Structure formats: C-alpha cells, structure tokens
Amino acid sequence: MNNLKFFIYQVILTYMGIANDIVFREYVYDPTFSINNRLLPALFESSINLVILFFVFKLYFSLKTTKLRYKIILHIAAFIVGAIVLALTMGVIVHMN
C-alpha cells in the first residue's frame, strides 16, 4: 500500500510541476516583457517548484522500507503517467476553447 500511495503522490506532484511550468512559461520567456516584469513570475514559479521539490524529498525519505532502485522506477513510471494525464487534460482544455 505504501508503494501505491507513493506512486499516486508522485503522479500528482509531477502533474503539478509540469502544469506550473506550462502556466508560467508565457510570462517568463516572453521577450516583450522587461526584466522587472519577468522577475516576478520567475520568483513565483521558483517558489512553487521549491515547495513541490520539498514534498518529493519528503516522500522519498518517508518510504524507508522500499529500496532506492524501486523508488526511482516508481518515480519514472509516475512521471510518464503524470505527463500523459496532463497532455490529455491540456488537450481537452485546448479543444474546449
């Protein structure tokens, strides 16, 4: 059960991390904005990424009985599933507009 919970949390955190990058991409990398206008979205994105990274490390250290090799395999699988779910979600959102 711990491995399933770890996998589900990893999928959610991966989804949030990629969605965070997609949301802030248009503000951070827009060349028409000045440096001051790009600084605030970059700070917001970085702080959200640090919180997500904190929870990922907390998940890794809370699961003590599972070997690191299996945690990495679960993380890779969760990344793939999270990316697929995000692609399906973003595809549905794009086609709704």
Total residue count of the chain as it appears in this document: 97
- pLDDT attached to residue 34: 63
CA distance 25 to 33: 12
pLDDT digits (tens, 9 = 90+) for 13-53: 888 888 888 777 776 666 666 666 667 777 888 888 899 88
**Among all chains, which residue has been given the structure tokens 């990893």?**
10
pTM, to two decimals: 0.71
